[in-house]
Each structure stands twice: as structure tokens, then as C-alpha cells.
Structure 1
Amino acid sequence: MPEEIIDLNAIATDRHSINSSDKPKEVTFNRVHSILYGDPSTKLIYDNAQKYFNKTFDQTYPHTFLKEDIFISIIQNIHPLLKLQFIVEVGSFTGNSASIMGNVLKKSYPGSFILCIDTWLGDLNMWVNKVVWKHLSVSDDGRPTVYYQFLINIIKQNLTEIILPVSMTSILGARFLQTYQFYPQVIYLDSAHEQGETLIELSLYWNLLQPGGILFGDDWNWRVVRCDVKKFIYMKNLTIQHFKRIWILKKSID
């Protein structure tokens, strides 16, 4: 079981959770940006997006299966007592799915934002089988530059005050949220898709999800993903919904 292989609330011994009395009632874009990068009114993370690599808008990455109507249906099913204000996406790549969600939030949920957690280093399939290799955009010195493609794609859609990237592993990202007691209402899990790793991610991010919230993910057709999701719902006695490749879990309010 996940609880037996990972401490859900573990934080390194030289750190501690931020006191709840200091925690803002709402997790805001400006608050998280200030913690990660400094005051966004003086230096926004997007300001130097083209400093190192000359990227242009490109959303041709083919493996984005989240659609606007599916996302709207999902967020309309969070518990009525919850205000949709903070979404976490784990696995963003070029930002196609983040853009879909961000444009919905921009139109209908003012003040809300998405924290995008990704290493922007690609997954095993990309490095071994060279799947969508051109989109990883590896530089001559061997470093993927897809992160800068993500930044440009968000800038060109005027979503720089709604979508905030943080270059971390999924586990580090979960620990960051736990440290600051930042609990999202919705989590989209679309990370590495390796068996066992997906199970750990599910365990960590389910623990962070607000009661009444929704955790959903992509690639139900991948055997390794389906295996870990099925293990998790069995252990948690959950009911799963899925729409084509998208799988959906709702957390009880009690």
C-alpha cells in the first residue's frame, strides 16, 4: 500500500510546515510566485523567456488528450462547498493541456491559477525510443529546452498571470505543497507514467487534494498507468470514472 512505502506527510528534518495561522485563506498566483521567484510585480518568471533560446509559438505536440469540454465537466463536479481557485498540473511539457485549463479559468474563474510541476526533461519513452523527440528539443550540449517552449506558448496566449511553472520532480513538487500547506481543489496528473512511480504520485497528491476535490489523469490506455490507478482505487475503495483516455477520482468531503 502507498502508506507503507512512503510517508505522506514527511518533510525533511531541517524544515517544517508553515504555521497554518500564517497561511493565506486562498493560495494565490502572487503568493506562490513570490515564494519561488520573488515579487511578480518587479520580476515575472516569464520576463526572460527568450533570453537563452529563440522559440516561437508551437502547439503541434500531438499527445494532448484533455479537451475543453471534458475539463469543464470535471471542474463543475467538485463539491459545491469548494471554490475553484487553485489547480495543480503534474506533467506539462509544451503546455497544451495547461493552456486549455488556463483559458477556461481566465474566462470563468477570475483569481484562480494553475501551478505546473514538471522537470521538462522528458520521459523514458522519449529518450529510449525517441518518441516526439523533436518536441523535447535537445540542445547541442544534451540539455532539453522544451521548458522555454512552454514559456513562449503561455506568453503568446496571455496566460502569464494564470499559469505558473515550477521545474521540480513530481515528488519534490508534492513536498513543496505539503511544506506550505497549499492544498488544491483540482489536480491533473500526467507525469512519467512508470509503474510504481505513478502509484507514489497518486498517493502523495491525493493526500494534498482538498476534500470534495477531483484528481484526474491522462493515458488510461497505458497499461502501466491503468495498473497503478487500479491498485490505488482498490486500496482506497474509490470509484473511478473515465472518458476515453481521461480517468477521474473524486475525494469525499468527509
Structure 2
Amino acid sequence: MKEKEDQPSLHRHQHQKRIVNVTKKLFANNAAYVILLLLSYALGYLSSPTSHTPPPPPTTPIVVSSKPSSSITLTRLTDNVPVPTNQLDNFRVTSRCGDSLPSQLVRQTIVDRLFNATSPYTNFPPPHVSQLLRTKRVKGWGSYGGVFKRLIDKVRPRVVIEVGTFLGASALHMANLTRQLGLDTQILCIDDFRGWPGFRDKFKDIQMINGDVLLYYQFMQNVIYFNATEAVLPVPYSSGSALMKLCEWGVVGDLIEIDAGHDFNSAWADINRAWQILRPGGVIFGHDYFTAADNRGVRRAVNLFAKINGLQLQTDGQHWVIDSAVN
């Protein structure tokens, strides 16, 4: 009986002995030892009851607003990170404009706010540039197209806002057209009057003092030459900052021309900001719909703006036209 009881113990002893012998052989081989160590680690990691993958951070779902596109509703992932309700919201202009000024107050408002209540034409030109200006130097592109007369005849604007002026060709043309109709029209010319890098390669007669090109002074000289100082007033700032301030001050235009930057982003921003300050029933229009500049983004910006706002777009020669009265 005792011999039978000892048999399982003997078998266990022999089995353990075989394991020890195999282990000795494995440990005698360095590569086998490393493999065994890695297998042991992997088995231990996989058998762990706790997941080692960090949980994703909690998020708040984006809720699409049912409000009109002019109003943006935001949800928040954190207190400081607003999430737009759709992809176009990042590109919309939603500033609130001030109450619309009567047209007869527009000129004095600009003079007061920009020029310390004194007309910029007073005591012009300053001595340091008087010998550097030409009596007149007017140059533009598409500045005398029939679209100007047709729109002025139709709209009979009290306030015209021009975005992109250069030397004032189209502004002076519009001043002459409104004068012929007996209109008391104020034309605001938004431009930083810096031109573009390298423009003096084509306009070598535009002088420079200490790196300051004299476009602004030559523009003013042109206005004086054509006796248009009461009708044409410069707003010598970038289009973005100027349009934003006109919106804030309640300055609105019956007719707005866009002809500044020709890349998509510049044209898109100018059109959207100008639309905000267009008087109901007014017309916004611009150049370069059918010129080489359309490849740089003007036409794309105009088409997209009209499409997402459901507006009718017309063309007149090289110009595009959006009439708010029919939209």
C-alpha cells in the first residue's frame, strides 16, 4: 500500500527534475533567456485586469443652431474655447454696427474722428512735399466704365464708399457724375495709400521721402486739381480697420465699390464688411470680375459670397454688381 502511495510523489519528483534540466539548458543560452523574459513580461501585461490605454478626454457635442446664418450660437469644449456651429462661421462678419447716421452728418463725422475736426485739405500741400508733386497724376484701372454712370443714375447716392482708391481715378469720375446730376454726394475713399511692393517700378514719377511713397499726397493734389475737395474725402487706413470703424460709427453707403486687394482673402473680407454698411436698397459692386485678377481670387470671393447669402449676382463689363433692392 505504501508503494502505491509513493508512486505519485515519485512521478512529481521526476517531472520537476525534467523542468529543472530544461531550465538549466535554457539559461545556458543567453538568447533563450532574453526571449523567456520578454514572454513573461508580455503575458503579465496582457493578463492585467486594468487597461493601460488612457480614456479619451470628455467632449461636449457641437449643437447646430436653428437661428439665421447672421447669428452665431456657440457651445464650448472648455470655458475659453468657442466652437462654431458650422465651418463658415469662422469666415462670417458679425459685428454690430451703430445706428445709421444721416448722410448730411457723414463728412463732419469723418473729419472730426480722423482729422481732429480740420479738413485734411487745409494748408495743403505741406512744404516738405510741395516740390515733389505733379499738378495732377491720375491713374486707374476700369475707372471710367459705363457701370459707374448706370449705377449712379439708378441709385442717386448720397454717400459713396470706395474701397481701394490708389490715385483717385474712379472716385473723381464718380464725383463728376454726381455733380452733373446735381447730387450732394459724399465720396469716402478707403485706402492706406501705400500701393504694393514694387509698384514704383511702373510709377517711377511717384516720389518717396525716407521710404514714404507720396501716393496719399498725390491723391489729394488730384482732388484739389479737379475741385472736388467737398465731394471726395480720404479715409487713409487699411480696408479692414476702416470698414470696421465705419460700421461702429454708423456710417452707411448707398453705393459701395470694392477694388482693393485682389487675393481671395482680401476680397472676401472687404465684401463681407462692406455689405454690413450698405444701406438697405443700396448697391455694392467691384472691379476685376473679368480680368487677370479674377484668377487671384476676386471672382471666387464674389461668387461664394453671393451663393451662401442667396444673392443675385450681375455683371457689367469687367465689374460685378449686387443690388440689395432685388435680393
Q: Is residue 2:175 matched to residue 1:175? A: no
Pairing partner for 1:145 from 204, 207, 214:
214
* Alignment of 1:34 onto 2:109: no
Structure 1 residue 102 corresponds to structure 2 residue 175: yes
Cross-structure match for 2:40: none
Q: TM-score, normalised by structure 2?
A: 0.65
CA contact (8 A) 2:137 2:218 kept: no
Could you say if the C-alpha distance between residues 181 and 3 of structure 1 is closer, same or farther in structure 2, counting changes exceeding 3 Å? farther
1:65 aligns with 2:149: no
Q: Tell me if structure 1 keeps the 8 A contact 2:138–2:167.
A: no
Higher mean displacement: 178-187 or 65-74 = 65-74
Secondary structure of 2:325's partner?
Answer: coil
| Matching residue's letter, 1:107 | Q
Match of residue 210, structure 1, among 270, 279, 283? 279
- Residue in 2 aligned with 1:75? 152
The whole-number CA distance in structure 2 between the counterparts of 1:226 and 1:93 is: 21
Change (3 A) 1:240 1:59: farther
Runs of 4+ in 1 over 6 A off after TM superposition: none
Letter in 1 for 2:109: R
1:198/1:228 contact within 8 Å kept: yes
Maintained 8 Å contact 1:84/1:109 = no
RCO comparison, higher one (Cα < 8 Å, 6+):
1
1:244/1:106 CA distance change after superposition, 3 Å: same
Structure 2 residue 212 is the aligned partner of structure 1 residue 134: no
Cα distance, 1:141 vs structure 2: 2.0
Question: Does the CA-based 8 Å contact 1:118-1:167 persist in structure 2?
Answer: yes
Give the Cα–Cα distance (whole angstroms) in 1 for the partners of residues 181 and 105 of structure 2.
18
- Asked if the contact 2:160/2:187 (under 8 Å) is kept, the reply is yes
Match of 2:90 in 1: 4
Q: Deviations over 1:120-140 (max 9, x none)?
A: 0113xxx157663436x3515
**Cα RMSD between the aligned structures?**
2.4
Q: How does 1:9-20 map to 2 (within 5 A)?
A: 9=95, 20=99
1:113 Cα deviation after fit? 0.8
- How far has the Cα of 1:210 moved from its partner? 1.1
Gaps of 5+ in 2: 1-86
Q: Deviations over 1:3-59 (max 9, x none)?
A: 53243316xxxxxx65x49x44644323322332244xxx42112432131312333
Letter in 1 for 2:316: F
Using a 3 Å threshold, how does the CA distance of structure 1 residues 219 and 131 change in structure 2: closer, same or farther? Answer: farther
Q: Percent identity?
A: 24
Q: Does 1:114 align with 2:200?
A: no
Distance 2:286 2:157 in 1: 18
User: How many equivalent residue pairs?
Assistant: 234
2:129 maps to 1:56:
no
Give the TM-score normalised by the residue count of structure 1.
0.82
Shift of 1:182: 1.0
5+ residue gaps, structure 1, are 11-16
Deviation at 1:171, TM superposition (A): 0.8
